């Protein structure tokens, strides 16, 4: 039996991040998992050079055991299990595709984060509102400097 919504939001078992880049956000997530004493973050970066740099940073970080770094595209990567926190942070035009692709595996009690969702950047914000209009997710738009969508999957929520 999976734990209640508060618990999986505060203490996710499985975090998936798309777009590792330098690994900075991955390291922050891993610090949180370490503080919780549980969970794993799977992060993917499709550029081999960027991946290699992130790999070195992660290996030297002290939180590597909480991280699974993959040199793969988010649109090809497969993960096992239920995703409690999904952080979409790769290329702006594919964020919608990523959410659609992983949605069946995302817990209705977990969180979906889509970065770069400001009204200025438009693309991600519009993608999130489109997914909401289709009844797939419920969206909150946070006015962070680049904009952040915080969403939850609708299907399966009671």
Ligand X SMILES: C[S@@+](CC[C@H](N)C(=O)[O-])C[C@H]1O[C@@H](n2cnc3c(N)ncnc32)[C@H](O)[C@@H]1O
50 binds ligand X (CB under 6 A): yes
91 binds ligand X (CB under 6 A): yes
12 binds ligand X (CB under 6 A): no
The set of long-range contacts for 131-139, using a CB threshold of 8 Å and a minimum separation of 24, is: 131/96, 131/99, 131/100, 136/99, 136/100, 136/103, 137/99, 137/103, 137/112
Kindly state the smallest distance separating residue 54's Cβ from ligand X, in Å.
8
Q: Which of 63, 64, 79, 94 binds ligand X (CB under 6 A)?
A: 94
Window contacting ligand X (CB under 6 A); options: 55-63, 88-96, 122-130, 132-140: 88-96
Q: Which two tokens stand for residue 72?
A: 């793969």
89 binds ligand X (CB under 6 A): yes
Question: Which three-class secondary structure state does DSSP give residue 101?
Answer: helix
Kindly state the smallest distance separating residue 1's Cβ from ligand X, in Å.
32
**CA 135/CA 129 separation, integer angstroms:** 10
**CA 27/CA 30 separation, integer angstroms:** 5
Q: Which residues contact 48 (CB under 8 A, 6 or more apart)?
A: 71
44 binds ligand X (CB under 6 A): yes
Backbone angles phi, psi at 37, to 5 degrees: 80, 15
Among residues 109 and 128, whose Cβ is nearest to ligand X?
128
**CA 10/CA 54 separation, integer angstroms:** 26
Q: Which of 46, 66, 86, 102 binds ligand X (CB under 6 A)?
A: 46
47 binds ligand X (CB under 6 A): yes
22 binds ligand X (CB under 6 A): yes
Residues lying near ligand X in the complex (CB under 6 A) are found at 18-19, 21-22, 24-25, 44-47, 50, 73-75, 89-91, 94
């Amino acid at each position: 039996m999976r734990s209640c919504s508060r618990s999986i939001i505060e203490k996710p078992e499985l975090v998936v991040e798309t777009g590792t880049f330098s690994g900075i956000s991955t390291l922050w997530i891993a610090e949180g998992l370490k503080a919780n004493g549980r969970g794993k973050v799977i992060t993917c970066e499709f550029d081999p050079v960027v991946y290699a740099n992130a790999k070195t940073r992660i290996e030297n970080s002290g939180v590597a055991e909480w991280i699974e770094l993959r040199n793969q595209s988010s649109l090809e990567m497969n993960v096992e299990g239920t995703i409690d926190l999904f952080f979409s942070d790769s290329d702006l035009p594919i964020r919608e595709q990523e959410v659609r692709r992983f949605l069946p595996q995302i817990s209705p009690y977990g969180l979906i984060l889509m970065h770069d969702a400001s009204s200025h950047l438009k693309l991600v914000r519009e993608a999130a509102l489109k997914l909401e209009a289709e009844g797939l997710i419920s969206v909150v738009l946070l006015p962070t400097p680049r904009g952040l969508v915080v969403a939850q999957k609708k299907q399966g929520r009671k």
